[in-house]
């Protein structure tokens, strides 16, 4: 995972209202980093957009029908075989950065390399030779092949349905009335919105919200395992075909599943059935449980809505002690906003019945810090992992002036371990002895806070430095505006 600073949403950059985004049904991406969402081909047919449900579904099906037909007549798996060469040509899936989706820290990715194409087609050939002609066999390869993960499933699908995504965007542009520029895609000229934050001139390809997941189901083994466990008939059939395979999907388990699945047509059919039954639903953009979208909006607005004066540190080089002091003041404001100004709502879903994941809390702090640092013109930049991780604060070009903030939710069973071990590891790795540990109470605290306080007191008593501990109440409560 790479680190990101200054996230900017499409909606903020182009002044598009949330209601309009919901009405048009597209993902409000972060323009200067990959949003950790992925196109799942198993969701295409159920999309509310004709470009996806009809045109993309047909295009995806026809593409892999051709690959299957070619593999069925391949005699030798090398480039001397004409059919094999043709199959390779149809398996050239490059990363399409224009969607701003994926796992990179900046807008970029990897696609399929030569070696991966070769091994994937070799396995696909074995499956086709079993008599399988279901195009979804290529989705199932993610369960069997090392190296095929969420990014590559999404890349594969994006490459195939690219003309339909372009058509979808042209329809959106007609509604949004945003300025466009000319791009040549697939040999045709198209008017598309330009991404102002890309390193080189590239278009934005907005993606329908009902075809994305936080993980494509073929890479989300936990969901498949759950579906199989809950379906007694399928569980018995799978057991007979491919054995007990709901352990954690490490490399060894993947190899075992591959051997079992390739035993017979019936065995592989069981794998496909697991995949299709567990297809699930798109990512819940409204509640945004992982915090993929909301942090850019918070970063753009919080300092305006709740001004906070840090001007005494403005426009000058900061010492390590000053950085530590500023971060402490930002954390104090963060605590105030959560406990006294209803920012706690950003830790929960819309009905306040389920808290967002820990990554969302980390991004919330980052967004608040980013907003205040920019508003006060500070020589201080917060950075956050695009996945899970601490929030770092560093001055421009000053490696020694750095502070780390680790955030844990009270629901995390590893919270005590996080204080005792993880933060110390981060501090050693980043060569800083300045760190904060934020424990946000969203329920299920138990005695975690008491254990961490005990650990901290012991460290200090033994003569060691200890990360500053801040405990914040993030539990749901009555709105501040309604209190007497």
- Torsion sign over Cα 215, 27, 191, 64: positive
SS (H, E, C) the chain: CCEECCCCEHHHHHCCCHHHHHHHCECCCECCCCECCEECHHHHHHCCCHHHHHHHHHHHHHHHHHHHHHHHHCCCCCCCCHHHHHHHHHCCCCCCHHHCECCCCCCCCCCCCHHHHHHHHHHHHHHHHCCCCCCCHHHHHHHHCCCCCHHHHHHHHHHHHHHHHHHHHHHHHHHHCCCCEEEEECCEEEEECECCCCCCCCECCCCEHHHEECCCHHHCHHHHHHHHHHCHHHHHHHHHHHCCCCCCCCHHHHHHHHHHHCCCHHHHHHHHHHHHHCCCCCCCCCCCCCCCCHHHHHHHHHHHHCCCCCHHHCCCCCCHHHHHHHHHHHHHHHHHHHHHCCHHHHHECCCCCCECCHHHHHHHHHHHHHHHHHHCCCCCEEEEECCCCCEEEEECCEEEEEEEEEEEECCCCCHHHHHHHHHHHHHHHHCCCCEEEEEEECCCCCCHHHHHHHHHHHHHHCCCCCCEEEEEECCCCCCHHHCC
Two structure tokens written together for 32 = 């200067």
CA distances from 412 to 181, 250, 408, 418, 437 (A): 47, 23, 7, 9, 14
The structure tokens 């906070």 sit at: 308
Q: Where are the domains of the chain?
A: 3-214, 294-482
The structure tokens 């012991």 sit at: 458
The residues facing 192 across adjacent strands are 181
Predicted confidence at residue 294, as pLDDT, reads 87
Predicted confidence at residue 89, as pLDDT, reads 93
List per-residue pLDDT tens for the chain, 484 residues long. 456 667 889 999 999 999 999 999 999 999 988 888 989 888 999 999 999 999 999 999 999 999 999 999 999 988 899 999 999 999 998 888 899 998 654 344 456 788 889 999 999 999 999 999 999 888 888 777 777 777 788 889 999 999 999 999 999 999 999 999 999 998 999 999 999 998 899 999 999 999 998 876 656 556 666 555 555 555 565 555 554 444 344 556 667 778 888 888 988 888 888 777 776 789 999 889 888 888 888 888 899 999 999 988 886 778 888 888 999 999 999 999 999 999 999 999 888 899 999 989 998 999 999 899 889 988 888 877 655 667 878 775 555 577 888 899 999 998 998 888 766 766 666 666 678 999 999 999 999 999 999 988 988 888 877 888 999 999 998 765 555 4
The pair phi, psi for residue 432, each rounded to 5°, is -135, 145
Predicted confidence at residue 70, as pLDDT, reads 96
């Amino acid at each position: 995972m790479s680190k990101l600073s200054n996230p900017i949403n499409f909606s903020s950059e182009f002044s598009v209202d949330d209601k309009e985004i919901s009405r048009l049904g597209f993902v409000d991406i972060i323009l200067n980093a990959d949003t950790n969402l992925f196109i799942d081909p198993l969701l295409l047919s159920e999309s509310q957009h004709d470009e996806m449900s009809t045109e993309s579904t047909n295009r995806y099906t026809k593409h892999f029908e051709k690959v299957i037909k070619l593999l069925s007549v391949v005699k030798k798996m090398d480039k001397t075989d004409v059919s094999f060469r043709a199959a390779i040509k149809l398996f050239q899936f490059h990363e399409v950065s224009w969607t701003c989706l994926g796992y990179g820290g900046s807008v970029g990715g990897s696609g399929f390399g030569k070696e991966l194409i070769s091994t994937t087609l070799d396995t696909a050939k074995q499956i086709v030779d079993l008599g399988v002609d279901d195009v979804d066999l290529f989705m199932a390869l993610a369960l069997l092949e090392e190296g095929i993960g969420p990014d590559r499933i999404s890349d594969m699908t994006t490459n195939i349905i690219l003309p339909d995504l372009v058509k979808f965007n042209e329809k959106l542009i007609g509604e949004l009335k945003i300025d466009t520029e000319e791009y040549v895609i697939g040999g045709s000229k198209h008017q598309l919105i330009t991404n102002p934050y890309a390193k080189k001139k590239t278009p934005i390809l907005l993606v329908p919200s009902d075809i994305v997941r936080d993980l494509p189901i073929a890479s989300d083994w936990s969901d498949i395992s759950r579906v199989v466990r809950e379906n007694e008939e399928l569980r018995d059939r799978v057991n007979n075909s491919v054995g007990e395979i709901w352990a954690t999907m490490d490399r060894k388990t993947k190899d075992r599943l591959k051997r079992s699945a390739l035993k017979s047509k019936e065995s592989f059919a069981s794998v496909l059935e697991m995949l299709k039954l567990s297809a699930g639903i798109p990512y819940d953009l409204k509640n945004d449980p992982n915090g993929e979208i909301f942090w850019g909006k918070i970063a753009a607005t919080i300092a305006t809505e709740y001004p906070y004066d840090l001007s005494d540190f403005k426009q000058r080089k900061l010492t390590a002690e000053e950085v530590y002091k500023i971060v402490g003041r930002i954390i104090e404001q963060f605590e105030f906003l959560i406990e006294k100004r209803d920012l706690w709502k950003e830790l929960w879903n819309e009905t306040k019945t389920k808290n967002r994941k820990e990554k969302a809390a980390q991004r919330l702090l980052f967004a608040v810090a980013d907003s205040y640092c920019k508003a006060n013109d500070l020589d201080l930049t917060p950075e956050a992992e695009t996945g899970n991780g601490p929030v770092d604060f560093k001055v421009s070009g000053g490696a020694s002036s750095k502070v780390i903030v680790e955030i844990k939710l009270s629901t995390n069973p590893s919270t005590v371990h996080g204080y005792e071990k993880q933060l110390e590891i981060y501090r050693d790795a980043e060569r800083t002895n300045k760190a904060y540990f934020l424990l946000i109470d969203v329920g299920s605290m138990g005695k975690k806070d008491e254990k961490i306080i005990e650990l901290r007191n012991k460290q200090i008593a033994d003569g060691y430095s200890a990360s500053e501990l801040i405990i914040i109440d993030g539990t749901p409560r009555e709105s501040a505006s309604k209190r007497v």
